[in-house]
Each structure stands twice: as structure tokens, then as C-alpha cells.
Amino acid sequence: MDIKEKIALLTEELKQHNYNYYVLAKPTISDYDFDQKLKELSALEESHPELKLPDSPTARVGGEVTKDFPSFRHLKPMLSLGNSYSQEEIKDFDEQVQKLTGGQEYSFLLEHKFDGVSLSVHYENGLLVRGVTRGDGVSGDEITANIKTIPSIPLRLRGDNIPQRLEVRGEVIMPLVAFAQLNESRAAEGLPPLMNPRNTTAGTLKMQDSKVVAGRTLVFYAYYVDTDELPVEKDSVYMDYLEKWGFLNSGYHSVVNDIDGVLNYLDTWEEKRKSLGYDIDGIVIKVDELGLRQEIGFTSKAPRWAISYKYKAEEVTTTLESVSFQVGRTGKLTPVANLSPVLLAGTTVKRASIHNADEIERLGLHIGDKVKVEKGGEIIPKIVGVLLEERQQGATPVVFPDICPECGTPLIRVEGDANHYCPNSESCPPQVKGRIKHFASRKAMDIDGLGSEIVNQLVDEGLIVTYADLYDLNYEQLINLERFADLSARNLLNGIKASKEIPFERVLFALGIRYVGETVAKKLVRYFKNIDKLISASEEDLIAVPDIGGQIAKSLKAFFEIPSNVQMIQKLKLFGLNFEIEEKDHQTDTLVGKSFVISGVFSERSRDEMKELIENFGGEVKSSVSKKTSFLLAGEKAGGSKLEKAEKNEVKIISEDDFYKMIGWTGSTT
């Protein structure tokens, strides 16, 4: 077979696998084999760019960078929808339709109103040629390279009856799980959480680097077809076409004959929508007959043949009692709203997050204000607005302090960062204690017996000032303290001693350098191998590391420029902590390309040790089961929901023993 044929074959094959995976949810090949084939195709394309096919699945992984998105005028404007919030308004809508159609029969197509970002995709002879955002409705931005990375948007249409020219519109959304995971990994890097899936989706679609887009989980649900080449009379028929052409179908649209059917559907989804796995903010009700739509027509803003019904956002009103300013271990100030307790989406809410000083200003908060609190996709509720008309005369505005509430040092603001920081890292109490608590925490040095209270006690008693002082502690000092007995003192000392075995990447994370979370620490360690190289690296050297940006580089430089920090590292080195990569003798690639989810408890190692072992063999560990998961490693008492999810997604479930066999360890291990 010549190269041209080989490329064509691989392109076809990989496209089919993508479709099986993302649209049918029935993969027939392992992730590993898929990646191998994709790599093969990508290599062939690189050496023979002229043979690369226009619908090559290698576009899915991104790579193209767009500096300015060109503007594109929509063929037909992308309109809004009229909103309604009550059954009465829906009934009015139905009456209006009756009037405008003069007694002809019609039915309603009911769809979810996906809470995402609308997108128009253009196909020519079945090939995706363009993706355009809604923009102002008249023209939008062309973001073609970015949307090519979204697996549920076909690069070439499948099946028959493919029009020469076709426009498909739909909504791009981010599933809640993907959003939560993204925020989790941001938290690990010390980055502030993103507000909600919709804004995140909008931001993602406008990123310059399509690789970043490819790395985020976005899903496209199509709901609109525009072509004059098919003899179709009902929109619901187009929905069937969409599915045959290879688009993802949410599976939930429905056709009903009368208003009762509509009300029934609204009612059904009021509760059910909460378990969908993505946000919908309502239902769209459309007249199904395309001919009648012509007769009914449009207003200047929206079609008259459709209306959206919006479910009430989960929002309550309560009183803002006060705002506290918490100082974290990095000195960052976080304003927290203290509220009169109120029930919201099933939980009592007493606090809400306010991100930073700008947010306080934007909301114009005063103490005693009646505030609207909302719980959307995000975990912590937030203040979305103030009832100005209910503000008391002479209420005190909330002022962001200019000095640290804990130590009185004037606060500073770093360029490119919306937060305020207390720069007194040496002796600001919550920073001193926070750093040690972080150092001792489970994902860092994992020091047994060194909980939050004990850290407070040791610092307050003057026994330790920095985490390096931990390694100087002795039995006599501890046993004389309140709350310590023989056992607890020994336990703590053993915990401290054991932490000397913790690998370099976790030690680096434990140091608590701003923006250096777990993932960043891993990347730095893999690249520099030891601390001396990292300390002496210039800002340019640091930026050269994959995924390390200017902000992280500056923060690292700033940390190592403080002599006491470097002295502390030298001290920790002398105590025997790991500051270089241990090249493990069993390190192999056995598990490269395989992803694992761990559940339950294991007889021979802790879950964290299991995770480390998998990573040492090149595998990846994820927190939740998806179609992409290769194996669920289930120990005793493995979680029921994970098992269920694994079965549903046809993920192979393996035992601890199976796992050891997989990596070539038989039976018990040492």
C-alpha cells in the first residue's frame, strides 16, 4: 500500500472510531491503540503534507494558533428567543400561534435550552469549512480551528442526502463533570476557580491556541438545519437527519400535538434536568411545521413561531451581615460574605464567595444589604446582585482593606492578578501557619499527626517558625506540651521522619510557592531533575518548560531570590529530604496511554501509593469514570457509583491482583 492509501485508510478508520466513541458511546478500540494510530497518521501527514486530507482527524488535537478571528456575516441572522416564565405565557403563545395560522393544524417540537454558547457550522459537499460564533447576531467570529477539536462536530458528514451547502446551528456546552475537574486542577495550581460552565465555554472557544481548546471537554448539540436542498416539511425530520449525518443527539427532544403536551414536558424536566450532567436553563418550544413558520414569521429580534420557557434559577434573597477578609498561606486576601442563613437548593447557606476587590465594587455592596444569592453549576454559592431599593439609609459600604487584617502590613497587588496580597510572608500568622499546614498536608508531605490544630499550637508556643523547623523537633519539647502524650509525641516524630521519603515533586509542591500546584511541580521536576538546576534557572529557562507561563516563572524567581528560602531548602536537604528525581529501576512504559480510576481500599498499598505506582509505569489516574477510562481498579469496598458507571461505559474493572499482573508483578510485592 502506498502512502496516499495508507493516509486515506487511517483517516477513515480513525474517523469511524471517533464517531463510535463520541456519538455512539460504543468504542471498539482501546484508547492506547487509537493514540498509536493517530500518531502514525500525524507522522505521515507531517512528512507528506500534500497528502493530508481536509477532514483529517488530526485536527481534533489542535495545534493551529489564531491571533485574530476574522469576522463572518451570518447568512441569516442568529436571533434570540422570546422568553417566558409561566404557564400563562405559554398558553398565550399557543393562542397567538393559532391566530397567526388561521386554524391550521400544527404540532410543537420541544427541545432543551442548552445553557452554553451558540455556534454556526458550515458544510460544503459534506466537509466542514467554517465555524462562526453568534457575535452580535448579524456577524460573528470565525473560530474554525478551535471548533474542529470538538469531537461531536463532524469534520465530514456521514450517510446520505448530504446537501452541497448546509448550515447547522447548535450549542456548545461543557459538561458539569468536566467543569468541576477543570476547577479542581486550577485549584491545585493555586488559580482562582472559573465562574460557571457557560462562561468557561465562551472563553475556551475564543482561545488563540486550539490545543488548549482540544484539552477541554466541550460538547456540541445541534438543533437547527438550514439548506434548501432537501424536501423536508418538519423540523423534527431535520433532527433525524442531524443524527444520521453524525451529530450528537441529546435524545430528549419530543414532538407533541397540543399545549397539554407542552406543559407536561415542562413539568417533567423541572426536576429531571438536575441530573442531566450539563446545564439547561429551560425548554425551547417551536412550531414543528416549517411551512407554518414562514407564515408566522419573525419580530425584529426573535421568531414568532418559537418561545423559550425558563426555569427559575436557584436563587434566594438574604441579608449580608458582614464581610470577612481571609488571608491564605500565599498571603492572598479572599473576601467572604457572611449571610443570614438561608435554604438554597437543599442546603443551608451562610457564606458566599466574593472573588476580589473588583467584585465588591461591581456589586456595590453595603453591610445589611438584601442580596441575591445563586447556586448555579458552581459549588460555592455566590452573590449575584443587590436589592438597591431595600438598602437602609446610611448603610456602610463594604471597603476592601488596604492593610492586612492579620498583621497590619500594607497590601499589594501583582500585575495581571486581580487579587490583593499581604507581602509579609515571614511573620504574618496565617501565612506562617498556612504554609506549614500546606507542607504537612496529604498531597504534599503527608505528615501523620500534624493536623491544623497541632500546627497552630507548635507555632503559638514558638517551637517552629518555618516547616524546616519541624525536623529539629524532639521528644522532650513535645511531651511537655498540653494535649501531647507519649504516643502522640512519638507518632508525630515518626510522621516527620517518614516524610523524608516523599519524592521530589511532592516536596516541591509542599514548599508552597505561589502558582506551583501539584501538576506544575511535576512538570518542573521532570524537566529540571534537581533543585539546584531549578534554582539557577532564568526566567527564560523556566518559560521554556512546556505549560509553564510567565506568571509561574516570575513567582519561582521571586521565591528563590529570597535568601532565607534558599537557606531553608539547604537545611531541608541536610535533613535528608528529596530534592532530586529518583530514577526508579522498575520505571517502564507498560501503562503509557492507559487511564485508571481507583476506588476502594487495597491490601498492599494506600490509594496514593497505588496512584504513584500507576504513574511510575506511565499510566494516568483520573478522579471519575468516563468512556475514556481504560480500567477501574477496584479494591475492597469500591464505590457503587463508580462500579455502575464503569459497567455503563464498558470500562474494564480489575482487582488489585489483576493490576499487579498487568505490570508484571506476580503475587505479593516488595
Give backbone dihedrals phi and psi of 313, rounded to 5 degrees, phi first.
Answer: -65, 150
Segment 429 to 468, residues that bind Zn ion, using CB under 5 A: none
Stretch that binds ligand AMP, among 63-71, 110-118, 382-390, 652-660 (CB under 6 A): 110-118
Among 18-26, 48-56, 80-88, 614-622, the segment contacting ligand AMP (CB under 6 A): 80-88
- Interface segment toward ligand AMP; rule CB under 6 A; list 10-18, 78-86, 153-161, 539-547: 78-86
Least distance (Å) between residue 292 CB and ligand AMP: 17
Q: Is 111 in the site for ligand AMP (CB under 6 A)?
A: yes
Nearer to Zn ion, 327 or 614 (CB): 327
How big is the site for ligand AMP, counted in residues (CB under 6 A)?
Answer: 13
DSSP H or E segment with residue 340: strand 333-344
Distance CA 144, CA 72 (A): 11
What's the closest the beta carbon of residue 286 comes to ligand AMP, in angstroms? 7
Quick check: 84 binds ligand AMP (CB under 6 A)? Answer: no
Least separation in angstroms between CB 362 and ligand AMP: 22
Q: Shortest distance, CB of residue 77 to ligand AMP, whole angstroms?
A: 11
Contact 108, 285 (CB under 8 A): yes
Number of residues that bind Zn ion (CB under 5 A): 7
> Would you call 10 helix, strand, or coil by DSSP?
helix
Interface residue with Zn ion among 53, 404, 444, 468 (CB under 5 A) is 404
Q: How far is CA 90 from CA 103, 129, 288, in A?
A: 18, 38, 16
Active site residue 522: no
> Which CB atom, from 113 or from 642, has the smaller least distance to ligand AMP?
113
Contact, 481 vs 457, CB < 8 A? yes
Report the alpha-carbon distance of residue 209 to residue 546 in Å, rounded. 14
Q: Does 363 bind Zn ion (CB under 5 A)?
A: no
What does DSSP say about strands 370-374 and 382-386: parallel, antiparallel, or unpaired?
antiparallel
| 644 touches 608 (CB < 8 A) | no
- 2-11, long-range: CB within 8 Å, 24+ apart, which pairs? 3/44, 3/48, 3/51, 4/48, 4/51, 6/44, 7/41, 7/44, 7/45, 7/48, 7/51, 7/52, 7/53, 8/53, 10/37, 10/40, 10/41, 10/44, 11/41, 11/53, 11/55, 11/56, 11/57
Minimum CB distance to ligand AMP smaller for 171 or for 446: 171
Closest by Cα among 624, 486, 440, 520 to 186: 520
> CA–CA distance from 267 to each of 252, 256, 310, 471 (Å)?
14, 14, 12, 62
Asked whether the CA dihedral 545, 549, 554, 559 is positive or negative, the reply is negative
Q: Between 21 and 223, name the residue whose CB sits nearer to ligand AMP.
A: 223
Binding flag, residue 489, Zn ion (CB under 5 A): no
Going by C-alpha positions, the residue among 248, 174, 250 that lies closest to residue 216 is 174
Strand partners, 306: 286
Work out whether 120 is an interface residue with ligand AMP (CB under 6 A).
no
For every residue of 276-325, DSSP letters joined together read SSS-EEEEEEEE-BHHHHHHH-B-SSSBTTEEEEEPPPSEEEEEEEEEEE
Identify which of residues 172 and 545 has a Cβ nearer to ligand AMP in the complex: 172
Of the candidates 69, 93, 223, 504, which one interacts with ligand AMP according to CB under 6 A? 223
Q: Please say which residue, 92 or 539, places its beta carbon nearer to ligand AMP.
A: 92
Among 22, 93, 106, 114, binds ligand AMP (CB under 6 A): 114
Q: Which long-range contacts (CB under 8 A, 24 or more apart) does 232-239 make?
A: 232/290, 233/289, 233/290, 233/291, 234/107, 234/109, 234/288, 234/289, 234/290, 235/109, 235/286, 235/288, 235/289, 235/290, 235/293, 236/109, 236/288, 239/109
| Least distance (Å) between residue 199 CB and ligand AMP | 14
Residues whose CB is less than 8 angstroms from the CB of residue 344 and which lie 6 or more positions away in sequence, other chains included: 314, 315, 316, 373, 375, 381
The window from 107-115, 150-158, 375-383, 408-416 that contacts ligand AMP (CB under 6 A) reads 107-115
Contacted entry of ligand AMP, Zn ion, none for residue 594, CB cut-off 5 to 8 Å set by kind = none
Minimum CB–partner distance for residue 377 and Zn ion (Å) = 33
Catalytic hit among 15, 113, 234, 594: 113
Options 128-136, 282-290, 427-435, 616-624: segment touching Zn ion (CB under 5 A): 427-435
- 167 contributes a contact to ligand AMP by CB under 6 A: no
Residue 534 contacts which entry, ligand AMP, Zn ion, none (Cβ below 5-8 A, type-dependent): none
Helices (H) and strands (E) in the chain, counts: 24, 22
Minimum CB–partner distance for residue 566 and Zn ion (Å): 23
Q: Which of 132, 147, 219, 428 binds Zn ion (CB under 5 A)?
A: 428
42, 66, 80, 338: which one contacts ligand AMP (CB under 6 A)? 80
Q: Could you give the CA distance from residue 438 to residue 446 in angstroms, rounded to a whole number?
A: 9
Among 371, 422, 454, 525, binds Zn ion (CB under 5 A): 422
Residue entry with cell 463510535:
20
- Between CA 224 and CA 241 the distance in angstroms is 11
Could you say which of Zn ion, ligand AMP, none residue 111 binds, taking C-beta under 5 to 8 angstroms by partner kind? ligand AMP
**Measured from the CB atom, is 85 or 475 closer to ligand AMP?**
85
Site for ligand AMP in 266-325 (CB under 6 A): 284, 308
141 binds ligand AMP (CB under 6 A): no
Examine residue 118 and tell whether it contacts ligand AMP (CB under 6 A): yes
Residue among 14, 41, 59, 81 that touches ligand AMP (CB under 6 A): 81
Among positions 17, 60, 74, 113, the unique one binding ligand AMP when judged by CB under 6 A = 113
Which one of the spans 68-76, 82-90, 423-431, 445-453 is the region binding Zn ion (CB under 5 A)? Answer: 423-431
User: 160-174 burial by CB neighbour count: b if 16+ within 10 A, else e?
Assistant: eebbeebbbbbbbbb
Q: How far is the CB of 399 from Zn ion (least distance, A)?
A: 17
Q: Which of 12, 314, 359, 406 binds Zn ion (CB under 5 A)?
A: 406
From 171, 288, 289, 505, residue interacting with ligand AMP (rule: CB under 6 A)? 171
Which of the ranges 11-19, 105-113, 496-504, 575-583 carries the binding residues for ligand AMP, by CB under 6 A? 105-113
Which of ligand AMP, Zn ion, none binds 107 (CB below 5-8 Å, type-dependent)?
Answer: none
Cβ distance to ligand AMP smaller for residue 80 or 441: 80
C-alpha 184/C-alpha 178 separation (Å) is 10
d(CA 429, CA 326): 12
Task: From 467, 464, 460, 452, select the one nearest 482 (Cα to Cα).
Answer: 460
Beta-bridge partners for 530: 580
User: Which stretch, 29-37, 113-121, 149-157, 549-557, contacts ligand AMP (CB under 6 A)?
Assistant: 113-121
Residues annotated as catalytic are: 113
What is the binding site for Zn ion (CB under 5 A)?
404, 406-407, 409, 422, 424, 428
Binding residues vs ligand AMP (CB under 6 A)? 80-81, 83, 111-114, 118, 134, 171, 223, 284, 308
